[in-house]
Every structure is written in structure tokens, then in C-alpha cells.
Amino acid sequence: MSETSGGETRAQPSGEPEAAGTTHFGFQQVPVPEKKRRVGQVFDSVAQRYDIMNDVMSFGIHRLWKWLTIHLSPVRPGQQVLDLAAGTGDLTRRLARRVGETGTVVAADINARMLQRGRQRLTDEGIAGNVHYVQADAEALPFPDDCFHCATMAFGLRNVTCKEAALAQLWRVLRPGGQVLILEFSKPRLPGLSRVYDAYSFNVLPRLGKLIVDDADSYRYLAESIRMHPDQEALLEMMRSAGFAHCEYLNFSAGIVALHRGYKL
């Protein structure tokens, strides 16, 4: 199935099933093992100027979304927290201040270059000692069961090949009573906003990527990956299926971004 909006034909994430042994990379169908390699290439390419692009393409609003995520989290001093898909450390920085000297934040990411960039940024800001960096695949986390009080994941779930596996891993590593917070692009809720948003995403973002990062294709993929990601209600059901309880979501910026929350009981 496909939909045309803003002059762009795009596949539907909840449409016909994918062919056996394949998955989506943006709007393309690729062999399952190929997706991780391609996603890795995307973030290898954009890592050095990733933060600049985030500010430019969101007009700085991503900082508010991330602040709200931590503000709404239950994280307290002395706790053990996982920041999955930590990237360049925006949530890790805020979490490290929350847990204080007696707590620990594990910043985990599958991409070594993004993780290295995050470590460099946070060390330069004097954030060290209570942050550990781990290169890890979200689908097979190298942590024991029931070890984190809270887990966060910002703008990473849509890049995971098997989202169900990542959600199951998040549930496994949380302690009973622990909360997961997933911040991700979602489906705009205001009438007419989707058309404007699509026009911006498919026409402006690749040009900005070419200008700032010298990589239009990576930002074209990022725009496509947003459209292939489950919408608010679909992700809510995926979380419930993974075992999370009391699940809910909050829309930010009219649903362009949503924060999903759930508990391990």
C-alpha cells in the first residue's frame, strides 16, 4: 500500500506484510541483515555534525522534547538508569545530573562513532564518573535481568530492525516497578499538518543534510524512517504486547513527536 502526501509516494508501515527475510530501510525493502549495516552507515556519516543538524532541522525544539522526557521521568539520585540509543548524549547528560554521584547511567548505542562523539561531548562538559559507555545492540542487550530502575530511548526505536525484540529487551533489563520512556517521531494530529510536515521533510531536510553534513541521502532515509514507524496507538499496543503495564503516550508538537511510557510490574 502507498500514500501520496506533499508530492511524495510512501509505503504504509501497517500495510501489506513484508516479504520473508526482508525489512524496510526507509521506503526500500532490504534483506534483514542489510538494515543494520545501512543504518550504521547513516550514523557513521552524520555523527560529527549530528547535533548541529538536530538544532537546525527542529529549530531547537528537540531540546524541549528531551527536557520534558527527563522532567516526566521518575529518575532519582542513586538509581541505575539505561539510556538506550544514547547517541551523542543529550538524555545521558540530563540523566547523569538526576542520578548524581551515587547513581549510574549506562549510555548504550550500537554505533561506535555516535557513542564516541557522546563520550567526548560529555567529558568536555565535566560529566564523568557516573556514566558508563557500552556499545550494544538494542535487540540483544548485554545486561542482566532486573538491573535498571528506568530506561530511556530517544529517536532510536525506529532504526531498530525488530522493534518487538528491542521492547522485550527493555522489559527484561528493567527492575520490577521500573519505567521505560520512549521518545520518538510519530503521527501529526492537527488537520493539514501532515502535508506541510511531509513537504518540509522530503524537500528541505535532504537539502539541509547536503549543506551541513554533505549527505542528503542519510537525511532522506531519516525522513522516510519516520513515516515507516508505528503511530501512537500501534506503538502503545507493541509495548503492551512486550509486557509493559499502565502504558500511555503524550503528544509533543501536535503529535510530530510522542513520548510513550510504561511500567514493568
Note the pLDDT tens digit of each residue in 176-226.
999 999 999 999 999 899 999 999 999 999 999 999 989 999 999 989 999
* CA–CA dist 188, 220 (Å, integer): 19
Q: What is the pTM of this model?
A: 0.89
Task: Give the pLDDT of residue 4.
Answer: 32
φ and ψ at residue 248, rounded to 5 degrees: -155, 165
Domain 21-263 is in which class?
A: alpha beta
Task: Give the pLDDT of residue 19.
Answer: 53
Q: Nearest 10 degrees: CA dihedral of 5, 158, 63, 129?
A: -170
* CA–CA dist 260, 249 (Å, integer): 4
Task: Give the pLDDT of residue 193.
Answer: 93
What grid cell was written down for 191? 488537520
* CA–CA dist 139, 153 (Å, integer): 13
Note the pLDDT tens digit of each residue in 227-257.
999 999 999 999 999 999 999 999 999 999 9
Note the pLDDT tens digit of each residue in 91-143.
999 999 999 999 999 999 999 999 999 999 999 999 999 999 999 999 999 99
pLDDT above 90 for 21 = no
Note the pLDDT tens digit of each residue in 144-169.
999 999 999 999 999 999 999 999 99
Could you tell me the pLDDT band of residue 20, with boundaries at 50, 70 and 90? low
Note the pLDDT tens digit of each residue in 42-82.
999 999 889 999 999 999 999 999 999 999 999 999 999 99
Question: Which of 165, 184, 185 has the alpha carbon at shortest distance from 173?
Answer: 165
Contact criterion met (CB below 8 Å) for 205 and 223: yes
Task: Give the pLDDT of residue 9.
Answer: 36
pLDDT above 50 for 11 = no
Task: Give the pLDDT of residue 2.
Answer: 30
φ and ψ at residue 136, rounded to 5 degrees: -150, 145
* CA–CA dist 54, 47 (Å, integer): 11
Give the residue extent of every domain in the chain.
21-263
Beta-carbon-side half-sphere exposure of residue 235 (alpha carbons within 13 Å):
28
Contact criterion met (CB below 8 Å) for 122 and 102: no
Task: Give the pLDDT of residue 33.
Answer: 87
pLDDT above 60 for 37 = yes
Contact criterion met (CB below 8 Å) for 252 and 260: no
* CA–CA dist 26, 226 (Å, integer): 8
* CA–CA dist 35, 163 (Å, integer): 13
Contact criterion met (CB below 8 Å) for 162 and 110: no
For the chain, list the strands marked E by DSSP.
2-5, 8-11, 22-25, 28-31, 80-84, 104-109, 131-135, 148-154, 174-185, 245-252, 257-263
Give the Cβ contact number of residue 15 at 10 Å: 10
Task: Give the pLDDT of residue 17.
Answer: 41
